[in-house]
Structures are given as C-alpha cells and as structure tokens.
A and B are shown apart, each in its own frame.
Chain A
Amino acid sequence: MDEKYKYIDFEIEDFLNDEFFIQWVKNPGEETNHFWLKWIENNPERRPILQKSKEIIAMIDYKERYVLSDQAYMDLYEDIVEKSHQQRADGSHFQWSGWHKTAAILFLVFSTVYGIDVLNKRNQVESKNQHVTTWLTVDNPAGQKYKFQLPDGTRVHLNAASSIEYPQSFDGEKRTVRMKGEAFFDVKTDPNRPFIIEIDNSQVTVLGTSFNLKNEEDFELALVEGKVEVADSTGGIITVLPNEMLIKRKNGEVSKGAYDPLEVFGWREQYLIFKDDSYPEVIEKLEEWFGVTIESTLKVDKDWSYSGQYHNKPLNQVLEGISISSDFQYKINNKSITISNP
C-alpha cells in the first residue's frame, strides 16, 4: 500500500504500533521528517492524534534507571579483559593491555573536572555595586545550562551562552532584571509589583506567568500562560497571550503566531532542535550547546538547511547525524571541531 494512504485511518493505538512512525519520533531524519511533516500538512485534522501519539512514545521511560558506578564500570571492564586474556592465552592481543587502564583513568579525570566545573558555576554568582542596590550576575558559558531562583521566588532556567543580572533583593515597586541570550521564566505572581525584563531595545512587563525569552540576533518570546506586554523603544506596546510567540527580527520585521513547543522549550529537556536552520545557525547552536569551537571549510549551497532533533545525545552522535544528510567530514579534537568537504 502507498505509504501516503496507509496512515489515513490510523488511530492513536495504530501509530503507537508503527515502526516507521516510532522511528520518526525517536530519531527523526531527513527522510522521515519530510514524510511526516508533509503528511501533517495534508491531513491537518489528524494532527492532534499524531501529536498525542508522539507524546506518548516520547514520555514512556523506566520508572527507575539503575546506574553502573564509575568504579564498577572500570572494574568490570578490567575483569573482562584480564579473564578473557587468561583464557585465550594466544598473546596476540597483549599489545593492547595498557589501553583499558588509560581509558579508565581518563574516565575518572574527566568526570571530576566536570563535577568541579558545575560547582564553580554555582559560585559564579558575583556581586557588583551599582547605586545602592547590589546586582548579581549569572553568566553561563557555552555548553552549560543553569536553573535557579530569583529573590522573589521566580524560577529561571538559563540556557547556555546566556546571562542574567538581577538585584540581590527586589526592594522597589518593580522587579527589574536584565538578560542576554535565552532563558525560561516562571514568574512568581505579584499583582502589586510587575516583573520587568530590560533588554536592548525592549522592555518585557509581566505580573505572573511563564514564558521563554530569547534575546539574540532576533527577539523571540513564547508564552505558556498569563499575559506579557512588550514595549519597544518608541513606546509601542504589543500584548502576547498564551500559546503565542512574538518574533522581532533584526531587520525590524515583527510577527506573532503559534509556535511548536518542542522547538521553543526543548532545550530545557535536553532536546537539541534544528528546524530549517541555515549552516551558520547550525554551527552556532552546536558551539553554544556543547561549548566547543568549530572551524569550517565546508562549502554549502545557498539553500542548505537542516532539520533534526537530538535528545540527550553527545556531540559525536549529533555531528554524525548532520553529516549523513549533509555529506561532510568532521574531526573532533578536544573542544575544537573541524568540518570540511569529504
């Protein structure tokens, strides 16, 4: 049967049983994305069913996940290598005997470095004086995200390569903060003290709500609940309502409309999402997400774009995924990546 028509009568339980669909949800690739996005376009009334099915597949997880400790991981490896050597006794693999120890030591060292790094970041909240109020800064380097609370109980999830400044205590009639980059805010409701985010040319005013705000080249605000007012430097005010996203492009173009929650909020759940991204956009996302620098000599077509999503995947797997559809070569050398034509 033609794939296009196969799915027309599918109910949730049918999608949940379909390997081609599951593959798309878990490991979307160029081909599956193309098929399913097209399918949704042609069958918009089936979208809720498809979305539900997608969600069910994505949400199912082990209730308890058991983790092999670093120590057990290494001991087990050494035992396996040692015991199979004894049993094999042909000696031909002896040249490798030091390798697993090196691997084991590296493993420990890097886990530790990572641990310290995280601790450091928690202390990176440094103070600086400005008038009477003490302002604090949280500055995330590339590759690291951070969740914390502001003095009023507002919860902030700060994305990598982003920073936020806030006063040690909100004393005045307003709660004012400044930010760069991308963050998710869950603002503590306080009808008497509006919460204001000052960014280059705009001011975002809210009372109590949750939303994602991206202040990079473009300004993007996606609202989950509540109401947000965005004022620009000329005094114009735009109101954003739940499930709406406001986009102000660098060239001054302003638009408002629905958004794909996974695309906007995915970063908080370790989803790295590419959607029709240009080559420079892909590179920038990778650098920010993994905290690496990328040198590229790759020649790409003008209309080059990439879509794909990765959940909790290490850099090499993401590069592998992109390279398959884009046909490039990459080398990973510590934190420097080089990409070139094959």
Chain B
Amino acid sequence: MKKTQNKPIETTESSAMLYMQHSQVMIVYTEKSDREVWASFKSGDEAAFNYIYRKYVADLFNYGMQICKQEEIIRDCLQKMFIDLRKNQAKLGDVQRIKGYLFTVFHRELFKFLKKEKKLNADLISIDNEESIFCIETSHETKLIDEEFALEKKAEIAKALNKLSTRQRQAIIMLYQEELSYKEIAEVMNFSEVKTARTLVYRAMEKLKEIFEVEKA
C-alpha cells in the first residue's frame, strides 16, 4: 500500500494514544451506539460532532480521492458536507450507522460538484469507465498468515480484480474494506434495489472463481 503522508487516523498506535488523551470525551461516545451519537449531534452537542469528524474524516477523504485525485476538491466537498450537516442538524433524520450515512451524503456531494465542474472543465475524469479508480491491492505481506494462497496467486487475484468494472471494484472494496452492508452500498451507489449491489459483487466473484479454485503448487 502506498502511503502518501503519515498513516491514516484510527489505524496507528499514535492515534491509539491520541484516543487515550481524549479519553473522557471519547469514551462517552465510543460506549454509545451510532444512533445515540447521532442524536447528540442533532441536539447540538459539539463534542459529538468532534467525535464524528475524528472518526470518519480519514476514510471519507480516502474514498473521495479514489474518485477524484485532486485534494483541493475533496477537501472542499468534505467541508461543504460537514457545514451543511451542522447547519441543518436539528432537521436531520435518525441514523443507524453513521459511516454508511456519511458515505452516501459525501458521494452525492462530490458527484454533484464533479458534474457541475465537468461542464466547465472537460479534463475532469469520467467516472464510469476509469481504470485508475478504486484500484485494488491484495494487501500486506500476508505471506505468513495465509495458508491457501501463495504470493503469486495473490498477485494474480489482484490483477483479475483490477480488470473488473469500476463499479464492481467499488462495491467489493466498500463491502470488504469499508465494511459497509449491501444496503449501505446500494445507497451510496444510488441503486434503487439492494439486490443490485449484491449481484454486482456476486458476478464479479464468479468471474474470478477459476483463479480461486486452482490448487496451490
């Protein structure tokens, strides 16, 4: 995995330390369900907003950058989204899972912006068939953890995954890496039916079936 700067928030020991330093505030919220945190945010609790920002901004930023590799744009869209949420906080609905909700809102915000900009600026990418979007890697040097797949095999799997359509890759990565449910993926990708998201992943994996099944040498 290529790291562009330091490590992402949430995944390093330093951020574990950071969490501890904010212990009092953070504990209050980590013990609560998403639903409760969201309710606190809606009632104007600034600490709840701080918690939400801290917890999700890194993933949202990374997600946006997969689609459009211009940091400025992604930051502007994040800013706009969070400001809008705060402005309308009292009017917002209930939310069961904050992450899925933020991904949906952010995705919408970003595409709205990209569509508008594309009219003005023809260089901006076309999202539907772009090979460089949502590229997948078969991660870490898991050589030792895994029993079934050799390194070469993993490279082969990665290659096959990256030949899938952008939408399939996006759904796969959101399902396994972002841990969103099919329902949430359908919402983010703007499918009217959950089944569409499910089928997208299933078809993709069926294509790769032969690669998975060949026994190791």
Are A316 and B62 touching (Cβ within 8 A)?
A: no
C-alpha spacing A92/B43, complex, angstroms: 11
> Which residue of chain B is the closest to A318 with respect to CB atoms?
B16
**Cβ B179 vs Cβ A65 within 8 A:** no
- The docked-state distance in angstroms from the alpha carbon of A92 to that of B90 is 13
Task: Choose from B15, B50, B172 the contact partner of A60 (Cβ within 8 Å).
Answer: B172
Q: What chain A residues lie within 8 Å of B148 (beta carbons)?
A: 48, 51-52, 55
Which residue, B10, B62, B176, B182, has most C-beta atoms of chain A within 10 A? B176
A-side contacts of B2, CB under 8 Å: 63-65
A318 to B172, CA, bound (A): 26
Q: Which residues from B are CB-within-8-Å of A80?
A: 53, 79, 82-83, 86
Q: Is A178 an interface residue (CB 8 A)?
A: no
CB distance from A110 to the nearest CB of B (A): 5
Please tell me the number of chain A residues within 8 Å of chain B, measured between CB atoms.
Answer: 78
Interface code B159-177, partner A: CB below 8 Å = 1, 0 otherwise?
0011000000000110111
A269 to chain B: which residues have CB within 8 Å?
140-142, 145
Does the CB pair B6–A111 fall under 8 Å? Answer: yes
CB distance from A78 to the nearest CB of B (A): 10
Q: Are B83 and A83 in contact (CB under 8 A)?
A: yes
Determine if A68 and B58 form an interchain contact, defined as CB atoms under 8 angstroms apart: yes
Q: Indicate if the CB atoms of B46 and A57 lie closer than 8 Å.
A: no
Chain A stretch 64-82: residues in CB contact (< 8 A) with chain B: 64-70, 72-73, 76-77, 79-81
Q: List the B side residues contacting A17 at CB < 8 Å.
A: 198, 201-202, 205
Complex interface residues of chain A between 99 and 128 (CB less than 8 A to chain B): 99-100, 103, 106-107, 110-111, 113-115
A241-284 interface mask toward B, CB cutoff 8 Å, 1 = contact, 0 = none? 00000000000000000000110011011110000000000000
- The A-B contact count (CB < 8 A) is 229
Stretch of B18-26, B92-100, B104-112, B118-126 at the chain-chain interface: B18-26
B126 → A minimal CB distance (Å):
19
Cα distance A61–B208 in the bound complex, in angstroms: 17
Q: Mark A298-342, 1 if CB is under 8 A from B, else 0.
A: 000000000000001011110010000000000111110000000
* Partner among A19, A262, A316 whose Cβ is within 8 Å of the Cβ of B182: A19
- Mask: chain B, 13-37; 1 = CB below 8 Å from A; 0 = not: 1111111111100110011000000
**Interface residue from B5, B20, B30, B62 paired with A69 (Cβ < 8 Å):** B5
Contact residue range for chain B?
A: 35 or more
Which residues 19-37 of A sit at the B interface, judged by CB distance below 8 A?
19, 22, 26-27
Given contacts A17-B201, A106-B18, A332-B23, contact A73 B137 (CB under 8 A): no
| Contacting pair B147 A62 (CB below 8 A) | no
- Chain B contacts of A210 at CB under 8 A? 144
Known: A261-B144, A265-B145, A269-B142. A93 touches B20 (CB 8 A): no
5 contacts between A and B (CB under 8 A): A16-B205, A17-B198, A76-B75, A103-B50, A315-B19
- Known interface pairs A13-B208, A73-B58; 15 further A-B residue pairs with C-beta atoms within 8 A, sorted by A's residue number: A17-B202, A22-B179, A26-B176, A52-B148, A58-B176, A61-B177, A62-B136, A63-B135, A63-B162, A65-B8, A68-B9, A72-B71, A77-B57, A92-B44, A269-B145
